[in-house]
């Protein structure tokens, strides 16, 4: 008899805030600078320096917390988390311990069409550490770059509500979408502005007590998260199946070997000796401030999705796809503003636009043209200036050159030929050149017309108005 297990996963997600300056000093937060050029005495932890809180970082944390349906604390403070590591200049991290900025929120995910609420235990604000580089410096040394040190970081701790690696991925994805909507972070896992650790345990189905958990780290992509968790769940199952016990430990995901490995030979007892940061005064978050931030909070994906269905009559599926990123939703909304046929726009955005972006591996913000240009393209079809087919050609050109559709049509002479006499001449020429086909049609072969029309389109390089060509043939046959 094999036991059925329930998977219990909680995620700790770290997100770098995209403030201009660091958490406690005025160094820039931009990614990718020469090592140790975005540093000052404060973020280098020089003797005598003091931190001063970046107001925007607090504001962004509150904004993120509100988007995650959290309660924002009326009173909060910073604490020192003491541990030694060479990428941590002061050998303590300014973080928040018992009074985080926000608690008690949730994120809604849909799993197999069913909605699930995943609890958010807390959101707190802290400072990032530097980077330790092991490459290119010999086997016995490491290099430290402090550019990232002190970048504001929020930690979002979920409740252990996730029941499968897939749910964990869906949650993480939703979290990213929401945070991206709020604009507080770039949430790019590959640049490290979003990082994720997981607490994983399993227990016999129906059991009330949690199993021993392991902490899984080093998951550097969304795919890695799902894979690592799936591996870890299986590993724990096998241990329990063998009648052994899961050891409480930290394990790292090895992407190459696709396994988790124990990160510490022996579990070192963490003793962070938290105490209130004496260099910073507490925070009193007024309700006015929270309301002000709430008011400026953009619609979150769920609300926006509902609005597209309700107000524009889009199918659920379209609405979900179009709101999967804020930039995409913004693009769509802007198109609809200029061209109010919601479903037509949706078809184009989901078809041509997303197709192009996926093919090229680009983001919506990389498009060289504006939403009103896409609207303009659709209007050209409506006006009969170009056909739907030519429109797709124009779209590709827009993607390449970023030029307005009207310009492209003009420059490439793609304008539909609607002059009856001009087309009539071509129609007659085609009939002359293809007597056999003409006969076939007259003999009842409907398909033959298609060939004839095709010949006209070929001769006009697709610019002849297809309805007109059809009519002219029928009149003559």
Partner 1 sequence: MPPTRTRDASGYPGFWRGLRPRKHEGRTAVAAIAFSGTQNKEVLGLKLNELGISRLHKLISSGEVTSVEVTEAVFERIDEVEDTVKAYLFLDREGALKKAAKVDLNVARGEEIEPLAGIPVAIKDNMCTKGIPTTCASRILEGFVPPYDATVIERLKASDAVITGKVNLDEFAMGSSCENSAFFPTRNPWDTSRVPGGSSGGSAAAVAAGEAIYALGSDTGGSVRLPASFCGVVGMKPTYGYVSRYGLVAFASSLDQIGPITRDVWDCALVMNTICGRDPMDSTSADVPVPDFTSFLNGDIKGLKIGVPKEYFGEGIDPAVKEAVLGAVDKLTELGAEAEECSLPHSEYALSTYYILAPAEASSNLARYDGVRYGYRAEAGDLLEMFKKTRQQGFGPEVKRRIMLGTYALSSGYYDAYYLKAQKVRTLMRRDFDRVFERFDCLVAPTSPVVAFPLGDRTADPLSMYMVDICTIPVNIAGIPGISIPCGFKDGLPIGLQVIGKPFDDGTVLRVAYAFEKNTDYHKERPEL
Partner 2 sequence: MKISRGDVEHVANLARLELSQEEMEALTRQLNDILTHMEKLGELDTEDVPPTYHVLDMVNLFRPDKVGKCLQQEEALANAPDQDQGCIRVPRVLEGS
Residue ranges binding partner 2 (CB under 8 A): 19-21, 25-28, 34-41, 44, 52-58, 77, 84-86, 132-134, 136-137, 139-146, 263-266, 271, 273, 276, 278, 280-284
Q: Spell out the long-range contacts of 383-390 with Cβ–Cβ below 8 A and sequence spacing 24 or more.
A: 384/416, 384/418, 384/465, 385/409, 385/415, 385/416, 386/414, 386/415, 386/416, 387/416, 387/462, 387/465, 387/466, 389/462, 390/414, 390/416, 390/462, 390/463
Length of the chain: 477
The answer to whether residues 35 and 145 touch, using CB atoms and an 8 Å cutoff, is yes
For the residues of 153-177, what is the DSSP string, one character each? EEEEEE-S-B-SHHHHHHHHHHHHH
To the nearest whole angstrom, how small is the minimum distance from the Cβ of residue 53 to partner 2?
5
Residue (143 or 457) nearer to partner 1, CB? 143
Q: Which residue has the tokens 């030694």?
A: 84
Residue (60 or 331) nearer to partner 2, CB? 60
To the nearest whole angstrom, how small is the minimum distance from the Cβ of residue 128 to partner 2?
16
Site for partner 1 in 252-291 (CB under 8 A): 269, 271, 273-275, 278-281
Residue (144 or 230) nearer to partner 1, CB? 144
Q: Which two tokens stand for residue 114?
A: 């069913």
80 near partner 1 (CB under 8 A): yes
For 264, phi then psi, to 5°, come to -135, 130
Contact partner, 80, from partner 1, partner 2, none, Cβ < 5-8 Å per class: partner 1
To the nearest whole angstrom, how small is the minimum distance from the Cβ of residue 93 to partner 1?
11
Q: Find residue 195's DSSP bridge partners.
A: 14
Contact partner, 50, from partner 2, partner 1, none, Cβ < 5-8 Å per class: partner 1
* DSSP assignment letter at 341: -
Residue (92 or 441) nearer to partner 2, CB? 92
To the nearest whole angstrom, how small is the minimum distance from the Cβ of residue 215 to partner 2?
16
User: Would you give the binding string for partner 1 spanning residues 36-65, x where CB under 8 A is met?
Assistant: -----x--xxxxxxxxxx------------
Contact partner, 163, from partner 1, partner 2, none, Cβ < 5-8 Å per class: none
Q: Find residue 127's DSSP bridge partners.
A: 152
Residues contacting residue 377 through CB under 8 Å, at least 6 positions apart: 391, 394, 395, 398, 405
**Distance between CA atoms of 122 and 53, rounded to whole angstroms?**
20
Residue (150 or 405) nearer to partner 1, CB? 150
**Distance between CA atoms of 72 and 152, rounded to whole angstroms?**
18
To the nearest whole angstrom, how small is the minimum distance from the Cβ of residue 14 to partner 1?
22
The answer to whether residues 232 and 225 touch, using CB atoms and an 8 Å cutoff, is no
Residue (43 or 469) nearer to partner 2, CB? 43
Contact partner, 317, from partner 2, partner 1, none, Cβ < 5-8 Å per class: none
Residue (271 or 475) nearer to partner 1, CB? 271
Residues contacting residue 256 through CB under 8 Å, at least 6 positions apart: none
To the nearest whole angstrom, how small is the minimum distance from the Cβ of residue 292 to partner 2?
14
Residue (90 or 463) nearer to partner 2, CB? 90
Binding site for partner 1 (CB under 8 A): 41, 44-53, 80, 82, 84, 86, 89-92, 140, 142, 144, 269, 271, 273-275, 278-281
């Amino acid at each position: 008899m094999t036991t059925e297990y329930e998977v219990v996963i909680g995620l700790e997600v770290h997100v770098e805030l995209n403030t201009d300056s660091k958490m406690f000093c005025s160094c820039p937060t931009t990614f990718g600078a020469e090592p140790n050029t975005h540093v000052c005495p404060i973020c280098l932890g020089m003797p005598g320096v003091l931190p001063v809180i970046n107001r925007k970082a607090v504001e962004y944390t509150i904004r993120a917390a509100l988007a995650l349906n959290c309660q924002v604390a009326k009173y909060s403070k910073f604490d020192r988390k003491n541990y030694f590591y060479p990428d941590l200049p002061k050998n303590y991290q300014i973080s928040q311990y018992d009074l985080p900025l926000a608690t008690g929120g949730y994120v809604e995910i849909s799993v197999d069409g069913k909605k699930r609420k995943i609890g958010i235990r807390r959101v707190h604000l802290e400072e990032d550490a530097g980077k330790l580089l092991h490459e290119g410096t010999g086997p016995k040394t490491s290099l430290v770059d402090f550019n990232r040190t002190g970048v504001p970081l929020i930690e979002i701790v979920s409740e252990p509500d996730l029941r499968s690696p897939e749910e964990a991925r869906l949650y993480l994805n939703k979290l990213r979408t929401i945070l991206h909507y709020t604009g507080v972070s770039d949430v790019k896992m590959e640049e490290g502005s979003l990082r994720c650790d997981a607490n994983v345990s399993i227990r016999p189905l129906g059991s009330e007590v949690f199993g021993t958990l392991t902490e899984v780290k080093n998951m550097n992509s969304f795919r890695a998260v799902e894979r690592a968790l799936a591996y870890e769940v299986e590993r724990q199952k096998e241990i329990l199946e063998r009648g052994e016990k899961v050891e409480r430990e930290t394990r790292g995901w090895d992407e190459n070997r696709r396994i988790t490995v124990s990160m510490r030979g022996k579990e070192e007892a963490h003793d962070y000796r938290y105490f209130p940061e004496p260099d910073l005064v507490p925070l009193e978050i007024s309700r006015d401030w929270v309301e002000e931030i709430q008011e400026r909070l953009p619609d979150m994906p769920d609300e926006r999705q509902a609005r597209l269905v309700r107000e524009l009559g889009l199918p659920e599926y379209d609405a979900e796809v179009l709101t999967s990123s804020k930039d995409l939703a913004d693009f769509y909304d802007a198109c609809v503003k200029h061209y109010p046929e919601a479903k037509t726009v949706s078809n184009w955005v989901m078809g041509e636009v997303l197709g192009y972006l996926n093919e090229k591996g680009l983001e919506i913000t990389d498009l060289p043209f504006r939403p009103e240009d896409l609207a303009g393209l659709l209007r050209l079809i409506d006006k009969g200036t170009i056909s739907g087919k030519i429109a797709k050609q124009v779209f590709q050109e827009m993607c390449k050159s970023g030029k307005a559709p009207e310009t492209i049509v003009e420059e490439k002479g793609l304008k539909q030929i609607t002059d009856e006499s001009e087309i009539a001449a071509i129609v007659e020429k085609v009939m002359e050149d293809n007597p056999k086909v003409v006969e076939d049609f007259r003999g009842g072969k409907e398909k033959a017309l298609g060939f004839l029309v095709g010949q006209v389109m070929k001769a006009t390089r697709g610019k002849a108005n297809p309805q007109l060509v059809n009519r002219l043939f029928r009149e003559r046959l």
